[in-house]
Amino acid sequence: MITKIDHLGIAVRDWETAVARYTTLTAGPPQHIEEVPEQKVKVAMFEVGEARIELLSATAPDSPIAKFLEKRGEGMHHICFQVPNLEEALQRLQADGMEILPGAGSAGAQGRRVAFLHPKSAAGVLIELVEKL
């Protein structure tokens, strides 16, 4: 069903420090920086093998990331897996009793179609699925 880890989302409060830390870890600057106005976030992407690290910073106080930071502090926000076909994956997961969050099929970073699973369906982890381009 899932073919690889697409990226790991990390919620950050201190953007400059976080970008510097992951630049050191991945031995290079972010390959891509983007604002996603619909989600009120700024993202920086660092390549790591076949996957990426996505730093997420809130661009408004009512951003989902701002709320996450308030509740949990900086740290892992979600795991994104790549699937060949989003509808097929969601149908199979629902058939196995996993809960899909509202808004499935909408556009995420870089305009790709995504869906999120409820953390209670995956041992407390927020899982994003993204369709392969």
Work out which of 22, 63, 66, 90 binds a second copy, going by CB under 8 A.
22
Total interface residues for a second copy by CB under 8 A = 41
Rounded distance, CA 12 to CA 58, Å?
A: 8
Q: In what order do the strands lie in the sheet with 51-58?
A: 32-36, 41-48, 51-58, 4-11, 75-83, 127-131, 113-117, 106-107
Rounded distance, CA 111 to CA 115, Å?
A: 13
Query: Is residue 71 a contact point for a second copy (CB under 8 A)?
Result: no
Shortest Cβ 34–a second copy spacing (Å): 18
Work out which of 37, 73, 102, 111 binds a second copy, going by CB under 8 A.
73
Closest CA to 15 of 69, 78, 80: 69
Query: Is residue 27 a contact point for a second copy (CB under 8 A)?
Result: yes
User: Which residues of this chain interact with a second copy, rule CB under 8 A?
Assistant: 1-5, 8, 10-14, 17-18, 21-22, 24-27, 48-51, 55, 73-76, 79, 81, 92-93, 96, 98, 119, 121-125, 127
